[in-house]
Amino acid sequence: MLELKNLYMTVYDENGPAKEIIRGINLVFEKGKVYAITGPNGGGKTSIAKLVMGIFSPTSGEIYLNGEEITQLNISERAHRGISYAFQQPPRFKGLTIEDLIKIARPGIDQLALRGTMRDVGLCPEDYLFRDVGPGLSGGEVKRVEIAQVLAREAEVSIFDEPEAGVDLWTIQKLIGILYSKFKNNPNAITIIITHNENILGICDEIIVVGNGMVQAQGTREEVWPLIKDDVECKMKEQCGELLTYEI
C-alpha cells in the first residue's frame, strides 16, 4: 500500500512569489488496483508523481510504502523499494542505446523479454534495439522507450505520466491492451496512470481528479465520469481531432 498523508509543497521561483502547488493531498493506493489521476493542466498531477518518486520533496506531510515512511529517501532508494516512474517528458540519453536503457531498468533481462517489451510499445527490436536515445529519436519514440523501461521493471508501484502524449493512435490502443494485461487485477502491482485519455480512463478501477493542487473528486469510473466527461472529450479532440468519442 502506498499512502500520501497531508502533503503540501511550496515552490520558490527565482523572482516570483512563493507558490503552493500541492495543497493537502491525502491518498491511499492499494495493491491490485489501477488508478487514474486526471484533471486540468497545471493542476499538480506530475508534481504528485515526482513527490512519490522522490524527485520533489514535500514542504510537509509524509509518504509511506507498505507502512515504511519513505519521505526522506532519495530517488534510487525509492526505486530500490519498487517505485518506478515514466516521465511525462522523458530525458534523452545521448550515447546510450535503447537496449542499454532497458537493461539498466531491468538488469539481467533476457533477450526474449527485452524484445517483447519493445514490441509491447510498438518498437520493432530489429530496427530500434541499437538506436541511440539521443536527438535522433522522435519525441514519440523517446516516450515509448520510457514506457518500455517501466514495463520492464515490473515494479511494485508503476507510475505512467500521460503515456498517450505524443504516441500515435494505433500505439495507444496497443498500449491500453498491454497496461490492461500487465496491471489489471495484478495482485502484486499498484498502477497509477496520469491521463486525459478516455480509453485509458476506461480500464482504471478508480479515478482521482486533481486540480489546484488538491484532490477535487475521487471514485469509481461510474461515479467520477459525469464530472469530467466534458473536459476529457475536449482534451481528446485537442489531441486527436474528432476521431474519438467513446462512451465508457
Ligand X SMILES: Nc1ncnc2c1ncn2[C@@H]1O[C@H](COP(=O)(O)OP(=O)(O)O)[C@@H](O)[C@H]1O
Residues binding Mg ion (CB under 5 A): 45-46, 88
Decide whether 33 or 50 has the Cβ nearer to Mg ion.
50
Quick check: 177 binds ligand X (CB under 6 A)? Answer: no
The rounded Cα 209 to chain-centroid distance in angstroms is: 15
Q: How many CB atoms lie within 10 A of CB 43?
A: 19
User: How near is the Cβ of 46 to ligand X at its closest, in Å?
Assistant: 3
Quick check: 24 binds ligand X (CB under 6 A)? Answer: no
User: How near is the Cβ of 161 to Mg ion at its closest, in Å?
Assistant: 6
Shortest Cβ contact with Mg ion: which residue?
46
Angle (nearest 5°) at CA 46 between 64 and 52: 15
15-22 long-range contacts, CB within 8 A, separation 24+: 20/59, 20/213, 21/47, 21/213, 22/47, 22/48, 22/51, 22/58, 22/213
Cell of 90: 522523458
User: How near is the Cβ of 50 to ligand X at its closest, in Å?
Assistant: 7
Of 24, 28, 30, 42, the one binding ligand X by CB under 6 A: 42
Decide whether 45 or 78 has the Cβ nearer to Mg ion.
45
Residues, the chain, total? Answer: 248
At residue 108, the 3 state secondary structure works out as: coil
Quick check: 82 binds ligand X (CB under 6 A)? Answer: no
Quick check: 41 binds ligand X (CB under 6 A)? Answer: yes
Which residues are near ligand X by CB under 6 A?
Answer: 11, 13, 21, 41-47
